[in-house]
Structure 1
Amino acid sequence: MKHKKHSSGHWSRLLAAVVAVSLLLTACKKDKDEEKLVVVSGSGNIQDDLDKFRTLLGGTLNTTPGAVGGYREINWDAVPDSLVGKSMSNNFFNTPGNNVPASLQRGLTYEPGTGEFRVSATNFIEVNNTTGGEFAAFSGNKTFANISNGLWPIKPEVPGQPLAATVRGFGIVFSDVDAANSTFMEFFNEDKSLGKFFAPARSGGSSFSFLGVYFKEAKVTSIRVGHQGTLAAGGKDVSDGGTADLVILDDFIYDEPVKK
């Protein structure tokens, strides 16, 4: 029996069909994944980006424990001057107790032992005086940084209670992100990564970048923040001839934490 020979044109058409199907399946998967989350990011004038993210989280700012729906925000100016420049406790913004001010019960904690968290009123020149003109506060005059660790987790809790909680969205205002793909947030549901997202580099003559991610279906149990270098290690910023893209943080925005 003679076997039918296929021309090179036949194999070319077959290969093209396989590639087309593969691309279609990839596009469908990408579209499906994008339907499950919303990324809001920008640099320069980021006010519209913040407002968009606030609306996405419910549009109502919560200021007391026991709220349902809406969002919470931290801009660090609630930190008293007596604690500026000093190490902060990991639960400073979720201190339990009946006599604790509601401003200190916002459901935000850090994992102990993952660095030294501080608030500054001078954009951290007291920690690293080579960065004096690099950073700026977005709101008020106080900013935040983990000065000794470039990779650290945020843990949501029920506001006013030491109970693990989940959120669906979290956003941060960064100051002086110079390099793309250097500063990021990675979201987790327990040990499962929900994705890593990079803050855009600053632009438009402004120091500020914003990154916020909202998950329509998944519940977020922790957020890992990553950035190059640390302020306490010394050295100049990459924009001034240094080797690391040093950054600090201002506003945190997230939806009302819900008990796991």
Structure 2
Amino acid sequence: MQVLLGARSVPDAGAVGNFTQRARRSRAGIEQGRRPLACPRTSALWLSRPWARCRIAPGPFRQSAPIAVSSTTYNVVNGSISVPANSMNALEAYQLLITPAAGAATGQQRYEAENATVVNAGRFSSGSASDGGYVGQIDGSANMRDQSFVDFLVNVPQARAYTMNIRYANATGANATHGLASNGGGWSTVTYPPTGAWGSFGASVNVSVNLNAGWNMIRLAKGAPNFAGGVGFAELDAITLS
């Protein structure tokens, strides 16, 4: 992965403190009948008080353009990287910009259910889950207050129909179903045949989903607005697009 570490300056604490002190002195001057001090021009804020009102223009300590601290290529190990940030300044904000070293990914992409947006369901741990976590208790379908669904935010290189592999568990002893929709479109049905046990993953099903180039939202739901509701129960581990 290509990693850019950047820093951005923040307002100087001493300048802000000096402004506060002068404003207090201005108030004291008014209360004692003296002419208040002029407002310091050190920020883009407006102050409005019974005793003072001033427009404060940008000053020299205002936020500067981001500064690149380092740009390095790291190997991804077990799904993560470690980026050192030495000699950090407490008065500065830092941001990591991470991009694939060889450009945008074009092959399969896996998205973990526990990292998605989970509504009215729970996140759990399992040694058989693809990254150690999964989503279960996707049970609600009665009304909008308890409808259960999982939203995956995915990014794909081109607009087309993708094969989506869904890792799941279904220990009900019968088929279970979820609703599938992408980008707020119409619903289709995903059927999960029964598996051995809850929280035990290895089984998967394939479905087709139409996606746009760039960012897309994929929803798998037991219950959701404009969806009649699924049958039975299923737990979700991850999806993979190809």
Superposition TM-score tier, normalisation by shorter sequence: 0.3 to 0.5
> What is the TM-score when the length of structure 1 is the normalising length?
0.35
Query: Which structure carries more helix by proportion?
Result: 1
Higher RCO structure (Cα 8 Å, ≥6 apart): 1
> What is the TM-score when the length of structure 2 is the normalising length?
0.37
Query: Which structure carries more strand by proportion?
Result: 2
